[in-house]
Amino acid sequence: MKTEYIIPLLFSGTLALAGCGSSDDSEVVDTTDDSDSSVDIEDDDVADVDTSYFDLASLDSIEVVECTLTNNESSTCYQITVKGFPADRSEIGPFCPEVITATAEDAGKWFDDGVLYDLTGEFIANLDEFYNDNNWLLYDEESGEVNITDTQTSCEAAAVVDVAEEYHNYCVQCDLDYYSDVEGEGIYSTYLIPTTPVVRDSAGDIDGENVGVAFNGVNLAAAAPAEVILSAYTIAAFDDCVGHVNPVAGYHYHGANHGDGDCPAIAFESDGHGGAFAYAMDGFVIYSMLDEEGNEASDLDECRGHTDDVRGYHYHSAGPGENAFIGCFTGETASADDDNEMDERPGR
């Protein structure tokens, strides 16, 4: 029987259930006003994809290929193969704290309801209080050591949909070395991005698809199935870049948190605008959430995009704890033509 990992679960639609059964008293503001999802962007506001944004060390190859867009029109795309390891770092992690006295410096992150938390030992020790559920106990009460999936077998057992009870109450982390024999490389993956974005008539769903690829070669993944992870009393720890490893996608991001802890900063634009860090799968650039003054744009559309005179149409990432980068695709995404089959080379 084929093992179901959490990432494939994203494609199954399970997250539709994630809002059920809350015991949280936080206010939910209910509104029924529909917004206009039509897209109105001038041609002059659409810039060609610039592959020079990518860190060369992150790349295996870039080539231009024929592709078919989601509107069924033929086009050209960049076929970009990345090595699956962040080119701006020498190592990833830390993820799980080893003991309940560990500080933020020796631990990663976890998010909940829009907030990114330091996954300190103290946080682990207080999960029962945090989630108001006494079944949480992720550490040995005598030694203070945190239960960590520190083998390939245990990490893969805890990264499935139906986690066996013996792996409940674990902080889950997988070593990228399990999936690559080459230091500084991860799971190779290939992205197909239109050479010039084509604006859709109405915004396209991200659903369970990849959101994009960072210029350092890391996958921007769709929303993490936090509800499923938590239901097994596990924490799928992130590092300071809101990234973690699973057996299918390798190292991937679920948020943007540049400049915090071990996560490298990115440069602001010369005019103080947020910095660019990724291409979305439709070929529009994703910039950081805040500008140099710490402000966020107030005119973002439902995809979290807007237009300015310098950059044309572009996106701004959501906050690091929001389990999302953008809300949807303003442009058409691409699929490979038959003779350009997408390539994925785990562990090469």
Partner 1 sequence: MNRWHSNVCYLAGLILVLSVLPVAAHEGHGDELPWEACQALEKSAQCAYTNSHGDVYRGTCRVFSGGLMCVRNQPIIHGEVQQTDSHKDYDALHQGASESGTGEGL
Binding status of residue 227 toward partner 1 by CB under 8 A: yes
Cα angle for residues 314, 246, 154 (degrees, 5° grid) = 160
User: Applying CB under 8 A, which of residues 60, 260, 262, 337 lies at the interface with partner 1?
Assistant: 260
Q: Which of these, 36, 39, 37, lies nearest to 307 by C-alpha position?
A: 39
Binding status of residue 271 toward partner 1 by CB under 8 A: no
User: Applying CB under 8 A, which of residues 1, 2, 20, 72 lies at the interface with partner 1?
Assistant: 20
User: Applying CB under 8 A, which of residues 95, 111, 167, 253 lies at the interface with partner 1?
Assistant: 111
User: Applying CB under 8 A, which of residues 26, 52, 74, 270 lies at the interface with partner 1?
Assistant: 26
Q: How is residue 288 annotated by DSSP?
A: -
Q: What is the CA radius of gyration of the chain?
A: 20
Helix (H) or strand (E) run with residue 152 in it: helix 152-158
User: Applying CB under 8 A, which of residues 58, 81, 169, 288 lies at the interface with partner 1?
Assistant: 288
CB of 348 to partner 1, least distance (A): 28
Contacts with partner 1 by CB under 8 A: the residue count is: 98
Helix (H) or strand (E) run with residue 250 in it: strand 250-253
Q: Based on CB atoms, which residue is closest to partner 1, 28 or 181? A: 28
Q: Is 259 left (phi over 0), alpha (psi -120 to 50) or beta?
A: left
Task: Read off the tokens for 68.
Answer: 């078919």
Q: Which of these, 41, 15, 78, lies nearest to 230 by C-alpha position?
A: 15
Would you give the binding string for partner 1 spanning residues 42-81, x where CB under 8 A is met? ----------------------------------------
CB of 78 to partner 1, least distance (A): 25
Residues 100 and 238: their CA atoms lie apart, in Å, by 17
Q: Based on CB atoms, which residue is closest to partner 1, 225 or 250? A: 225
User: Applying CB under 8 A, which of residues 2, 35, 309, 341 lies at the interface with partner 1?
Assistant: 35
Q: Which of these, 217, 177, 197, 1, lies nearest to 88 by C-alpha position?
A: 217
Phi, psi of 161 (to 5 degrees): -70, -50
- Burial status of residue 117 (CB atoms within 10 A of its CB: 0-12, 13-18, 19 or more): middle
CB of 346 to partner 1, least distance (A): 22
Q: Based on CB atoms, which residue is closest to partner 1, 24 or 42? A: 24
Binding status of residue 28 toward partner 1 by CB under 8 A: yes
Binding status of residue 137 toward partner 1 by CB under 8 A: no
* DSSP track, 222-241: S---HHHHHHTTEEE-B-TT
User: Applying CB under 8 A, which of residues 184, 327, 346, 347 lies at the interface with partner 1?
Assistant: 327
Binding status of residue 17 toward partner 1 by CB under 8 A: yes
Q: Based on CB atoms, which residue is closest to partner 1, 120 or 147? A: 120
Binding status of residue 282 toward partner 1 by CB under 8 A: no
Binding status of residue 258 toward partner 1 by CB under 8 A: yes
Binding status of residue 213 toward partner 1 by CB under 8 A: no
Side chain identity, residue 148: I
Q: How is residue 114 annotated by DSSP?
A: B
Dihedral (Cα; 37, 77, 71, 33), 10-degree rounding: -10
Binding status of residue 239 toward partner 1 by CB under 8 A: no
Cα angle for residues 34, 47, 41 (degrees, 5° grid) = 30
Binding status of residue 30 toward partner 1 by CB under 8 A: yes
Binding status of residue 248 toward partner 1 by CB under 8 A: no
Binding status of residue 201 toward partner 1 by CB under 8 A: no
Q: Is 290:298 a contact under the CB 8 Å cutoff? A: no
CB of 169 to partner 1, least distance (A): 13
Task: Determine the interface stretch with partner 1 among 39-47, 65-73, 141-149, 290-298 (rule: CB under 8 A).
Answer: 290-298
User: Applying CB under 8 A, which of residues 55, 98, 122, 150 lies at the interface with partner 1?
Assistant: 122
